[in-house]
Each structure stands twice: as C-alpha cells, then as structure tokens.
Structure 1
Amino acid sequence: MKRRKIGIMGGTFNPIHYGHLMLGETAYEQFGLDQVLIMPAKNPYYKNISSNIKEENRVAMIQLAIEDNPHFCFSDVELKRSGNTYTVDTLDELTKAYPDVDFYFILGADSLYHIESWKDPAKILALAKIVAASRADSYSAIDAQIEYLNDKYDAQVLRLNSPNLEISSSYLRKQIELGRSCRYLLPDAVLHYIKEHKLYEKR
C-alpha cells in the first residue's frame, strides 16, 4: 500500500496570513503531499501568545482562511495537550497513531537554523522529513545548513522553493492596532472576523 504524505505546519497563527498559506500550498505542490495540517500551538515554550487573543479566535481565523482549500486541514492535536507545546511530542504522537504516513514538517529558514535548540532535535529529525522554506538569495546558506543537519543526524531535510512573502503576524497586529489597512495581506474572511470581533485593536 502506498504511504500517505502529510505536511504539518505549526505556529501560533495570531493571525494566520497569506505568508502561512503560501508556504503550505507550495509544500503541497513541490512534494506531492496528500494533505497539509494547519496546527496551532497551545502554549509554545519559546513565546507567549500576544494580544490576549483567545484560543477560539485563532481556531476560527484558521478555519476561515482554509475553508476553500480541500487539501488544507485544521488540526487540534496540540490544542488538546496541556502544558508547553513541543514539536517532538507532536511528532511522536502522530507517528505512533499513523505508522503508514510520512510526515513533512514545514518551517521557515530561521527555525531551521535554531532547530538544534529545540527539545530533542535528533528525535524530531528522525520522526519526520523537515521542509525548510528559503529565499532565492539565501539558497547557499540554507543548503549548507541542510547538508550539516542531514550529515550529523542522518536526517531528511529538504529545501522548499517558496515565493517569499515578507509578512509577519506581529506586523499585522501592529497595523490593526494603528488602524491601518491589512487588505491583501490576509484572507478577506479573516480580516472581516478580526474587525467583527475587534481583535488587536488598541485598548
């Protein structure tokens, strides 16, 4: 039986934007994935979730952003766990539950350079293929990091050739707080939800 190929894209998604969606879509196309899981973190150990946004708000924005894409799927795997969110625990849970699936963990170049500081990086690199986004002007640097990790851990780290959209959730939060336009930076349905629920507005 052919093994399924499923991408995982994690993050706080506060809010989700076109940069996230383009990353997932490009990975889906480039690696012939069957599905991409959009997986919000509950309590990431490396940062607090800004702006006092409730979990239900982040979930709703994700669901609105991906509702018209049949190969994107919302996943609450990390939201259902208590305590800090660690990638290794997520991958351990998923690979045990779905032994017939190859998981592709999608991340940005910055995260790839810091992956050895994550909890149990060797196990992360053993449990999943790592898909790292990069810009055309930084291929040589990320290729060197990929070669280093693959050699050291006998891993499968792959370069994702994704268009680079210089959008960050922190930038969007600040734009909204200042009352500036975020049109064309995130889906209209998400922007409407943010306005309707008065998220990120100056208190």
Structure 2
Amino acid sequence: MNTRLGLFGGSFNPIHMGHLRMAVEAAQAASLDRVEFLPAPRPPHKETTGMLSFALRWRLVQLAVCGREGFFPSTAEAALSGPSYTLRTLRMYRRLQPETDLHFILGAEDLLKLPTWHKGAELVEHASLVALPRSGAGRGEVEHFVAEFWPGAARMEQDLWSFPSGTTLRFVPAPSLDVSATRIRRAVLAGESIAYLVPREVEKALETLSEEDLAPWRREESP
C-alpha cells in the first residue's frame, strides 16, 4: 500500500497550537501515515519584513513536532529558488516520490484564496487536499467554492469531492482553535505569556530570542 503523506506548508511565524491541532485532525480524517511540516522560505502572499528568519522558523517547527509520532519537519521548500509556490513543491514531491499518495493540508480560508495562488486550480492535479475550518470559513463556504472553482468535481460524500486527476478534496468539520500567529507575536514583544498558545518547547525558545532575532516582528509593529 502506498504511503499516505500529508504536507502542511505555511510561514509558521511562529508555529502554534492551532497549526498542530489542524495537522492532528487532518491526519485522523484522511488516514495519513505521516505529516511533514514545510516552513516557507519566501511566502509569496505575505510581507517578509515581519518574518523571522527561515532558520529560526525551521528550528521552532522542529521543536514543536519533536517526539510526536508521525509528524516531521521538512526543509524541502528551501531547495527551491524563488517564491515558495505550493504548486512547485507538490511537483517536486511528485517527481521524487511518484508512488506516494500526497495530501496537502490547508485552512478553509486559504482554500477560498486559491484563485489568487500561482496556478491554484492545478494543485489537485498533483495532490489531494484536506481543508479544515479556519477564520470563520466552514462547510458552506467550501461547498460554494468547489462548485464555482472546480465545476468538474464530483461529490462523493457530504464532505468529499473527487477530481478527474484521481485526487480528492476532503473537508474536515473539526473545531478550530482560535489561535493566531499575530497575537503570539504581539504578546512576545510585550513580554506577555504565550503559555498554551504554543508548545512549551517553542515557548522556551521564543523567550531566549535576542533583540536582533525579534527585529522583524518589531518592524512589523512599528507605526
């Protein structure tokens, strides 16, 4: 049986409990054998001025998933030059692991933004999608989006669609943790507690960051 691999990309600036719970829910719902977390070196849809260095974000991801069975950090996107386009990442995995059953994990609000992504409609030609509620976007919004964006998708079950490429889109109606990286960044800069918003190991690592490390976050908050 082919390995069912979940890919979870993002800026992870920083990684937090909301990300981790999404990965747990996605892995259970889609019967994934493993999930790889891919911090983006150059997120194309976000300002890089407020971004911690890739090395720091990668380190925090390592700390967050260490010891969690089935979860692994990955620097795969660092091997690609230019903006961290998801399509290029999926093509790379498909080329290097042709027998692997790929599943790309994302929040429903990001799913709704696929028309603005680099060739967003083509993602389903290379991997199945697993979407979870996020930022108020849920089942109704996903249903409407699929009908408009992929009119050729066939509905198999209430929360499952199939595509001509053989891939699927699965919506996972799991509770969404109201945790945001923006809130965490502001709390860190203000010297406030971020306990239970991030894993303890990440919390301790953020407490040791220097002013130079945190400079991108301070620039982001500057008027």
Regarding TM over 0.5, the answer is: yes
Distance (whole Å) between structure 2 residues aligned to residue 5 and residue 128 of structure 1? 11
* Partner residue, 1:17: 16
Give the CA deviation at 1:20: 0.4
Return the offset for 1:52.
5.0
Q: What SS does the aligned partner of 2:201 have?
A: helix
Give 1:101's aligned residue.
Answer: 100
Cα root mean square deviation, aligned = 2.1
Paired-residue identity, %: 28
- The one-letter amino acid of 1:24's match is A
Give the paired residue count.
Answer: 202
Q: Could you tell me whether the CA contact under 8 Å between 2:108 and 2:138 is conserved in 1? A: no
> Residue 145 of structure 1 aligns with which residue?
145
Cα distance in 2 for partners of 1:21, 1:49 equals 23
C-alpha distance in 2 between matches for 1:22 and 1:50: 27
Would the aligned equivalents of 1:43 and 1:85 in 2 still touch at CA under 8 Å?
A: yes
> Which residue of the partner structure matches residue 71 of structure 1?
70
Provide the residue aligned with 1:48 in structure 2.
Answer: 47
Q: 2:197 aligns with which of 167, 178, 185?
A: 185
The residue identity in structure 2 corresponding to 1:22 is R
Whichever residue aligns with residue 151 of structure 1, its letter is P
**Is the 2:121–2:149 contact (alpha carbons within 8 Å) kept by the matching residues of 1?**
no
Structure 1 stretches of 4+ with a deviation exceeding 4 A read none
CA contact (8 A) 2:108 2:137 kept: no
Of 126-135 and 43-52, more deviation after overlay is shown by: 43-52
User: Quick one: distance in 2 between partners of 1:202 and 1:179?
Assistant: 13
Find the partner of 1:174 among 176, 179, 186: 186
Deviations 1:161-187 (A, max 9, x none): 222111111111011111111111001
Aligned to 2:159: none
Distance 1:52 1:156, change over 3 A: closer
Q: SS state of the match for residue 83, structure 1?
A: coil
Q: Write the distance in 2 (CA, Å) between the matches of 1:168 and 1:24.
A: 15
Alpha-carbon distance change, 40 to 52 in structure 1, aligned in 2, over 3 angstroms: closer
Residue in 1 that maps onto 2:109: 110
Counterpart of 1:57?
56
The runs of 5 or more residues in structure 2 that have no matched partner are 154-162
Q: How far apart are the structure 2 equivalents of 1:98 and 1:19?
A: 28
Quick one: distance in 2 between partners of 1:192 and 1:137? 32
The separation in 2 between residues aligned to 1:80 and 1:121, in whole angstroms, is: 21
What is the alpha-carbon distance in structure 2 between the residues aligned to residue 77 and residue 32 of structure 1?
A: 23
Cα distance in 2 for residues equivalent to 1:54 and 1:122: 30
2:61 counterpart letter in structure 1 = I
What is the match of residue 134 of structure 1? 133
Q: Give the alignment's TM-score, normalised by structure 1.
A: 0.91
Structure 1 position 197 matched with structure 2 position 196: no
Aligned-partner SS, 2:94:
helix
Cα 1:191/1:45, change in 2 over 3 Å: same
Distance 2:172 2:121 in 1: 21
Please report the TM-score for the alignment, with normalisation by the length of structure 2: 0.83
Structure 1 contact 143–159 (Cα < 8 Å) conserved: no
